[in-house]
Structure 1
Amino acid sequence: MCGIIGILGKDNVTNRLVEGLKRLEYRGYDSAGVATLSEGRIERRRAEGKLDNLVRVLADDPVDGVTGIAHTRWATHGAPTTDNAHPHATEEVALVHNGIIENFKELRDELLARGRAFESETDTEVVAHLISEQIETGVAPRDAVRKTLDRLHGAFALAIMFKSDPDMLIGARLGSPLVVGHGDGESFFGSDALALAPFTQKISYLEEGDMVVITRNATMIYDENDELIARPVALSGASAAANEKGNHAHFMQKEIFEQPIVVAQTLQSYLRPLEEQVALPDMAFDLAGFDRISIVACGTSSYVAMIGKYWIEQFARVPVEVDVASEFRYRDPVLTENQLALFISQSGETADTLAALKHCKRAGVKTAGIINVPTSSMAREVDLLLSTHAGPEIGVASTKAFTCQLAVMAAFATNLARAKGKLSPEEEREIVRHLSEAPEAMNAALGHDEDIAGMAGTIAEARDVLYLGRGIDYPMALEGALKLKEISYIHAEGYASGEMKHGPIALIDDAVPLIVIAPSGPLFEKTVSNMQEAQARGAKVVLISDAEGIGRAGQGTIATIEMPKVHPLIAPLVYAIPVQLLAYHVAVAKGTDVDQPRNLAKSVTVE
């Protein structure tokens, strides 16, 4: 979600603050700002909307200083206005904040009663006033921050700058990530290592409850008990090169076309082609001991979870529950010692999923995670890390992370089936062969990009679109509808095709396109019968299938999208391509902001 940069530098930091913010644009935001210490004053520049607006403000009214903080905001409390944009400041302090202060109203009322004046509607401004109030009475900045942190309920990453001490920044984290960068005579704060990559590769990851004080001479980290503690310094490995779209018009398009490569890279970590086996990383427990799996995720990742349920129950015969992360804790789930909780997250920082993970760990449940960022909070918490290798995903709507998660889920399901004695060596060899074929089949699917672009205009005219699928293609229908909603702003819903006659068929008319995902196979006839019911009522159908399926059921459709004939195991990996491309080209036709759709954020770090 929001992005933080802080620099305690040797020369003017403004341009580098903006450079860091540019590397955080992928997170999604609706305003931006910088603050520096200049000639004993806190100087701020803020702007609504995209970072280009802030750059223009800085060009018209420059700031300088060797100490500074900067922020991209995704609105929670208060509209995306200049007054609500970060940094927030008083005479004494300026700060930026990711997360949410749940008890802000109580604190704000208390501060108002004492005569403090507020400029914004945000929860963040109360933190600035609480710290300032103490500094004004002679409390040292470090102690003022510690006392304030003890009063905050919620989730936060904070970077704080002080008028009285231009050679110090203080940071803190609870439930929202913050990293410290170590440079040559300089120090940095960032929301992630990617933001700091141009400045340093030496990174310390703060743990829950940590507070850090950086000065010209030292970096001091205090744990949740205010004890001085050493956090290891690691090499981030994040590329300092700017994120480039290459020959593609948008990052989302680039990331769709990267999928055959990144899925191949991911599978290389799990497949042993010579032995024709699937291998997982070393683990401290035996998968055979689990008689139940809970999979917890949000958004696109939750559809990977649904597909995983089909695979695990089919291959390993182990019952699976799938939960949306934001609901998991609140239904008070029954947790047992023979249960494995599997969490899926692109960023590894998704607040609801992280909270569910901690809930399971407190209950003594073993945990695993399918995660794209190996240094993230979730990756460090789980008992078994199953890494995807999608690389940085800049487009807000997930594409390559989704298919890499599917690849890892297939590997996990296969390994679990072998551990449970449900998979013969020949069956495992067949799975390995099919998974190895997935990147080539995905590349073939990309060959239909121009055909999909050519028909996108028809869908772009619709106000409502329905997606249908059956069996493992039902989650793909949900994913297709989500992608279309996210980036084109067209209302779309995904349904299990057999559910059409239980209500949704009432929505069918010639203004509601119906996207049908139906590879030829055991469920093809069932899906087609539901499709034909809709056609009889005037539905404009787009059929996504292979040549056999299109030959049997393509008549009367407004368009068909032909996919290569593949084994059902890898069909979700392959059929992800056309639903992504369709959403992308519809959004382009409508002229929406493909990479940074309104109201959305890449990493959702508040519940």
Structure 2
Amino acid sequence: MCGIVGILGSGPAAPLLVDALKRLEYRGYDSAGVATLEGGHLTRRRAEGKLRNLEERLAAQPLSGRSGIGHTRWATHGAPTERNAHPHATDRVALVHNGIIENFRELRTELEQGGTVFSTDTDTEVIAQLVSRNLEAGMAPADAVKATLDRLEGAFALAILFDGEDDLMIGARRGSPLAIGFSDGEIYFGSDAIALAPFTDRVSYLQDGDWAILTRAGATIYDADGAVVERPVTRALVTSLMVDKGNHRHFMAKEIYEQPEVVGHTLGHYLDFAGGRCAPDAIGGIDFASLDRLSITACGTAYYAGLVAKYWFERFARLPVDIDIASEFRYREQPLTPNGLSIVVSQSGETADTLASLRYAKAEGQKVAAIVNVQESTIARESDFVLPTLAGPEIGVASTKAFSCQLSVLASLAVAAGKARGHLTDVDEERLVRALSEIPRLMSQALRLETQMEALARDLAKVQHILYLGRGTSYPLALEGALKLKEISYIHAEGYAAGELKHGPIALIDENMPVVVIAPYDRIFDKTVSNMQEVAARGGRIILLTDPKGRDAAAIDAVETVILPEMPSTITPLVYTIPIQLLAYHTAVFMGTDVDQPRNLAKSVTVE
């Protein structure tokens, strides 16, 4: 999760930028850089690796400008080199960017045909070049930025400096977070309040689609339609060791909304979006071609991520998968094949049962790959391969962004395995990578369903039991939806494979039983419709999550139909998790429970 800092200050900006970037190191990064206005002209210092390398560069070649931007980068498009490090610049602008520009290929081709010469492999440079082209055409800076934003597809947060403009900075957000910090005679941009903590506790959080013009006198904020808007300025009581809720009521809500950004960064770590292929170096030398079998072990939500992955690995790589709850795996003495690989999944990297399962697998002679959010954790240290999820700190006990990042890693691995084992062609790989690259944008669209999910939650808060149904990869999502609801609202919920309805759960169906059906329009959609008809015939209250084709084909009077965008079936688990999380969250809010710290639960289960 990249970090952004921008300063219009009263003293040298570069040391302050570096200090702020240090507070964002928890996000993870592989290069860093700053740009300031020296005598009115843009000047950059960048370095590969850790911030100490950038500090050494600045010590040797100091910058004194009062206006500056800084960035810590996780590589997505282009290798983690100094050349690809942010800020990216032309003679007219310098900018930093979090997120992914999905249509950068088309924009780059257009610019190159017009004579533009690119100096990096990144998607970000197209933004700088577009703004510069607009400036050269005579546009004012604000108009040049707005015209550029209208061309961009994807999720992003931006902070932009202009040559010759010492008292101007422009920022924008779509999908990725961005905040403004206010102080007397100074003003700032930051990825979150932690970045701004050294300077101010007066923070305003841009909403999705907002863009803002900063001068030292203040900020003018525009919404996606171009109207001037006011965003509340709040007191952010944070230190370098605290994570802020932003303008959200709970950490869980904030973490739901962070998913387009963190999923984008996680996918970018494992996939080469520009080349339309997997990034072989990111999987740490795992030889999928030599494997006979996979074993996936995890607990709770991470286990459901593994269940989804079973479908992906077996479909794309034709690789058999055993999936176990860690507390069962560690005791049932499963025989492990010599040519197998064990994958353990844990947000904290300290989960006791998962750690015990890892040690059992190693004792049986298997190599172990760890999918973890904390790279310094015990599970990471004891594994042969470490596959990080770049979710950043997750404070809410009920996992949201960690789950979607786990799915992102597993989906990337499944594609890599399919290619390595010869079951995916180059064309297949490019098609799947392109589909995965669209997830942040689709997640941002799914977040717009919040008002509808909040309205549904008002009714769900009044019931005692809820059933979730799904087929294929929607079945583990039904299990996850039920888990989320009972974790934080304390309402009894069960997730079932839709085909199992007649094997027992149908006895529960009556007019008081809400049934959440997760059914994107895919090759098994008609089968799920048959199950919905059985529910409707018994008066069950159906809440259908589908897409426009599914809505038209269902022909069933659902209590409510939640319409998501059309998308390839491969990526539906990542996008459909958004409304499921929102439904659980708002139900819990109406129930008045402690959403972030529900009773009896801990974030990391480190004892059996």
Q: Which TM-score applies when normalising by structure 2?
A: 0.60
Indicate whether 1:318 and 2:336 are aligned: no
Aligned pairs (5 A) from 1:506-525: 506-525=507-526
SS at match of 1:331: coil
Aligned pairs (5 A) from 1:269-418: 269-280=269-280, 281=282, 283-418=284-419
SS at match of 1:369: strand
Aligned pairs (5 A) from 1:61-460: 240-280=240-280, 281=282, 283-460=284-461
Give a deviation string over 1:75-94, Cα, whole Å, max 9, x none.
Answer: xxxxxxxxxxxxxxxxxxxx
- Per the alignment, do residues 284 and 549 of structure 1 end up closer, same or farther by CA in structure 2, a change over 3 Å counting? closer
Q: Give the deviation of 1:288 after TM superposition.
A: 1.1
Q: Give the deviation of 1:286 after TM superposition.
A: 2.1
Partners of 2:454 and 2:285 lie apart in 1 by 48
Q: Give the deviation of 1:336 after TM superposition.
A: 2.0
Partners of 1:239 and 1:355 lie apart in 2 by 35
Q: Give the deviation of 1:241 after TM superposition.
A: 4.4
Q: One-letter code of the match for 2:278?
A: V
Q: Give the deviation of 1:285 after TM superposition.
A: 4.9
1:556 alignment counterpart? 557
Q: Give the deviation of 1:284 after TM superposition.
A: 4.8
Give a deviation string over 1:186-215, Cα, whole Å, max 9, x none.
Answer: xxxxxxxx9xx99xxxxxxxxxxxxxxxxx
Q: Give the deviation of 1:283 after TM superposition.
A: 3.4
Give a deviation string over 1:239-289, Cα, whole Å, max 9, x none.
Answer: 824211111010000000110000001111011122211124263552211
1:486 alignment counterpart? 487
1:168 alignment counterpart? none
Partners of 1:579 and 1:436 lie apart in 2 by 21
SS at match of 1:266: helix
Sequence identity, in percent?
A: 56
Q: One-letter code of the match for 1:335?
A: L
- Per the alignment, do residues 314 and 586 of structure 1 end up closer, same or farther by CA in structure 2, a change over 3 Å counting? same
Partners of 1:554 and 1:493 lie apart in 2 by 25
SS at match of 2:330: helix
1:184 alignment counterpart? none
Give a deviation string over 1:544-600, Cα, whole Å, max 9, x none.
Answer: 011121122264111111111110111000000010000001111111110000000
Whether the 8 Å contact between 1:543 and 1:554 is mirrored in structure 2 is no
Q: Give the deviation of 1:455 after TM superposition.
A: 1.6
Structure 2: which 5+ runs fail to align?
Answer: 1-193, 199-237
Partners of 1:416 and 1:284 lie apart in 2 by 12
Whether the 8 Å contact between 2:483 and 2:493 is mirrored in structure 1 is yes
Partners of 2:471 and 2:389 lie apart in 1 by 27
Q: One-letter code of the match for 1:416?
A: A
How many matched pairs?
A: 373
1:176 alignment counterpart? none
Whether the 8 Å contact between 1:283 and 1:383 is mirrored in structure 2 is no
Give a deviation string over 1:43-71, Cα, whole Å, max 9, x none.
Answer: xxxxxxxxxxxxxxxxxxxxxxxxxxxxx
Partners of 1:387 and 1:351 lie apart in 2 by 19
Whether the 8 Å contact between 1:251 and 1:394 is mirrored in structure 2 is yes
Partners of 1:392 and 1:554 lie apart in 2 by 43
Greater C-alpha radius of gyration: 1
Q: Which TM-score applies when normalising by structure 1?
A: 0.60
Whether the 8 Å contact between 1:287 and 1:420 is mirrored in structure 2 is yes
SS at match of 1:269: helix
Q: Give the deviation of 1:337 after TM superposition.
A: 1.4
- Per the alignment, do residues 586 and 282 of structure 1 end up closer, same or farther by CA in structure 2, a change over 3 Å counting? closer
2:175 alignment counterpart? none
- Per the alignment, do residues 493 and 285 of structure 1 end up closer, same or farther by CA in structure 2, a change over 3 Å counting? closer
Partners of 1:591 and 1:348 lie apart in 2 by 31
Give a deviation string over 1:77-124, Cα, whole Å, max 9, x none.
Answer: xxxxxxxxxxxxxxxxxxxxxxxxxxxxxxxxxxxxxxxxxxxxxxxx
Partners of 2:274 and 2:520 lie apart in 1 by 30
Q: Give the deviation of 1:363 after TM superposition.
A: 1.5
Partners of 1:285 and 1:602 lie apart in 2 by 30
Aligned pairs (5 A) from 1:1-16: none
SS at match of 1:343: strand
- Per the alignment, do residues 493 and 436 of structure 1 end up closer, same or farther by CA in structure 2, a change over 3 Å counting? same
Give a deviation string over 1:447-469, Cα, whole Å, max 9, x none.
Answer: 01011111211111110000000
Structure 1: which 5+ runs fail to align?
Answer: 1-193, 199-237
- Per the alignment, do residues 302 and 427 of structure 1 end up closer, same or farther by CA in structure 2, a change over 3 Å counting? same
SS at match of 2:602: coil
- Per the alignment, do residues 550 and 324 of structure 1 end up closer, same or farther by CA in structure 2, a change over 3 Å counting? same
